Amino acid sequence: MASAKGVSVRDTVLWVEDTGEVDLPVILCLHSLWLDHTMFDALVEAAAGKFRVICPDFRGQGKSAPPTTEVIDMDTCAADMEALIEVMGLSGVNLVVQSMGGDVAIRMVARRPELYRSLVMLASSARGGEKDELDWVNQWLDDSYQTGFVGDSLQLLREVMFGSTTRKTVSKQAMLKHWSDMLEASPQSLWPAIKGVIDRDGCADLLPGIPTPTLVFSGEEDVARPPAWADEVVAGLPNCKLVRLKAVGHSPILEVPELVIPQILDFVERPAVD
């Protein structure tokens, strides 16, 4: 990266990696919960010479400043990213987002659609936390707070983050080991962000007011944001195209980068929905 530094926005400091080419169109990448800006490394490499790619870590995650509240909600994260766009003087932004990044991006684009040229959503939805699942999820998180994600708890998290086919594929094991190590090392300081995602409010009511050309990727093996949730996003957005991915789970850009990255770059270069 041409620049990697902490950037002061609002009441926090966000870690931001930026390829820095001021004469190129901008891709702003918003990462999944439990992961960080490095999940977009392959996209950064593929976009070299075509796009300026900016990859921040959300507040309380990655290399950004630690949390100062018990819960970091999606509106707070959206306001942080809007402030970052202003501080960096960005316009005509192409958003590439996954999972939690989608929760944040919908709020951003609904509030200021004129700032955004295109939106690519991977493994994302507009639903809030599922009430019938919150009790056991919160119990799982409480049990994992002291021990971290180890044993059965780590295995469950792996099943959430990666599809069954990916977990069984020999060529994917090095990638899985890298991210599994990160999941296992999740610090207690991550819990406010986790709580914010688990207990998030839905935002489906914002979708009809978003005119931005949008490409949605949905994995058939995604258990965290299943295909039906992606279908709701596509039905709600007025200018949207869906790509269903076979044998892919909740992390398409990591599980099948060779499939999704070329499509992402083609779309942000010429954002149009057939």
Which tokens in the block code for residue 220?
Answer: 């058939």
Task: Report which of 134, 113, 244 is spatially closest to residue 200, judged by C-alpha positions.
Answer: 134
Residue with tokens 């295109």: 118
pLDDT tens digits, residue range 198-254?
889 999 999 999 999 999 999 999 999 999 999 999 999 999 999 999 999 999 999
Percentage of residues of the chain with pLDDT beyond 70: 97
How far apart CA 266 and CA 61 sit, in angstroms, is 30
**Looking at residue 135, what is its pLDDT?**
72
Query: What CATH class has 3-269?
Result: alpha beta
pTM of the model: 0.95
Contact present, 97 and 126 (Cβ < 8 Å): no
pLDDT tens digits, residue range 109-156?
999 999 999 999 999 999 997 666 667 677 878 878 778 788 888 898
pLDDT tens digits, residue range 70-84?
999 999 999 999 999
Domain residue ranges of the chain, discontinuous segments joined by +: 3-269
Percentage of residues of the chain with pLDDT beyond 90: 85
